[in-house]
Amino acid sequence: MTASAPSGLSSVGIVGGSLAGLFHAVALTALGLDVDVWERSGGRPADRGAGIVLQPAVARFLREFCGVEPDRVTVPVTHRQYFAADGGVDVLPMRQQMISWGTIHQALRDALPAGRYHGGQPVTGLAHRPDGATVRVGGADRAVDLAILADGSGSRHRGLVAPAGAPRYAGYVAHRGVVDEADLPRELVARFDGRFSFWDGDRSQFLCYFIPGDHGAVAAGRRRLNWVWYARADRSELDRLTTDRHGVRHGLSLPPGLLDPRVGADLLARARATLPEPLRRLVEHTAEPFVQAILDAHADRMRDRRILLTGDAAFVVRPHTAAATEKAAAEALTLHRALREAPSTDAALRAWERLSLAEATAIHRQGVGLGRRLGLDSPEATG
């Protein structure tokens, strides 16, 4: 896909090389811009949203900007199934496609020209300058015409654009797990195959679905089963859940492999006491459960002059919307279109901010409403 950006805009610096950063990098490279992405982690950034429900903007992005046909890299579901406490199951037709964070990340990395993704290079400073910004990396300043902050919910530079609206804990966590299909008994695979499964408990919800395995593999036998179990946790419980087996505190999330065995034992006991049998067995088959705190963040601005705020750095939306990655892709598509069509860079950036703020605000509200309806918000955390 080729098109061009307004004159006077040539270099773009992107802070953060996860999904939001890469969507923007690929979309702006397609406009002929000179784009660099700086990512602080040296390997692959943490796979925080293991399973992702594919939505239209991500599908369009993969097809049009990455040359990847979504059908090839997604696992289809044809039905939703709702488990009841008495063991019954309600099944409704509902077609969706499931993808993984890693599959999207790889497609975006592959679409970026060589030498433009700089892993292991944290951005330590960012400042406005006339008609651009200065990005500080590796002790040197780099002048760019446009800087995009895609450094996630913990953004250290957010305050340059939106001092208000920093993330806060919503009062509940997602216990998560990913299990290789090959490690699951066949009858359990059959229970979940082609289904998006749900169970609503007392102020708790469990859901699961198959996602691609390594290298985007979608063939039966090579996929993974991804589950998420939302549960309330006050601040002290959050600390306990995210303190690892060596006593190190991780704050808002705990990666796979580090769960304190006592927390693991509690999780299993709760699964055995409350979950319907197939879901309980799924938790029992999970070698390395992990934990993520659910956060809320909503910026009141997404732009100051030539610095933009995007993805989770701007808004952290609740995962019940299944729309966080979609929002990041849509913001990149909106920027691509605005820069292609607007008469000047500043007019394009104004239009992008107006459209993106409206869209993100609506998704954010929807997510908070869904969390409340499930009884998950804790009054102590949300005020």
Ligand X SMILES: Cc1cc2nc3c(=O)[nH]c(=O)nc-3n(C[C@H](O)[C@H](O)[C@H](O)COP(=O)(O)OP(=O)(O)OC[C@H]3O[C@@H](n4cnc5c(N)ncnc54)[C@H](O)[C@@H]3O)c2cc1C
Residues that bind ligand X (CB under 6 A): 15-21, 38-41, 45, 48-49, 51-53, 101, 122-123, 150-153, 156, 174, 292, 311-313, 319, 322-326, 328
In this complex, which beta carbon is closest to ligand X, that of residue 6 or of residue 59? 59
Beta partners for residue 166, in sequence order = none
Identify which of residues 294 and 338 has a Cβ nearer to ligand X in the complex: 294
Question: Minimum distance between the CB of residue 84 and ligand X, rounded to whole angstroms?
Answer: 24
CB closer to ligand X out of 6 and 317:
317
Nearest CA-CA partner of 300 in 153, 166, 130, 148: 166
Q: What residues does 125 pair with on adjacent strands?
A: 136
- In the bound state with ligand X, the residue whose beta carbon lies nearer, of 6 and 17, is 17
Q: How far is the CB of 28 from ligand X (least distance, A)?
A: 15
Q: How far apart are CA 350 and CA 27, in angstroms?
A: 18
Distance CA 18, CA 147 (A): 16
Place of tokens 């006491």: 273
Which residues fall within 8 angstroms of residue 292, CB to CB, at 6 or more apart? 48, 173, 174, 176, 252, 253, 254
**Cβ neighbours for 24, distance < 8 A, ≥ 6 positions apart:** 12, 14, 148, 150, 310, 331, 332, 335
Smallest gap from residue 240 Cβ to ligand X (A):
18
**Which stretches does DSSP call E strand in 84-165?**
89-100, 117-119, 123-129, 132-137, 140-144, 146-149
Report the nearest approach of ligand X to the CB of residue 247 (Å).
24
Of residues 6 and 49, the one with the C-beta less far from ligand X: 49
Which residue, 18 or 106, has its beta carbon nearer to ligand X? Answer: 18
CB of 343 to ligand X, least distance (A): 29
In the complex, the smallest distance separating the C-beta of residue 52 from ligand X, rounded to whole angstroms, is 4
H or E segment and range at residue 81: strand 75-83
Q: What strands, in cross-sheet order, belong to the sheet with 123-129?
A: 123-129, 132-137, 140-144
CB of 212 to ligand X, least distance (A): 14
The distance between the two most distant Cα atoms of the chain, rounded to a whole number of Å, is 65
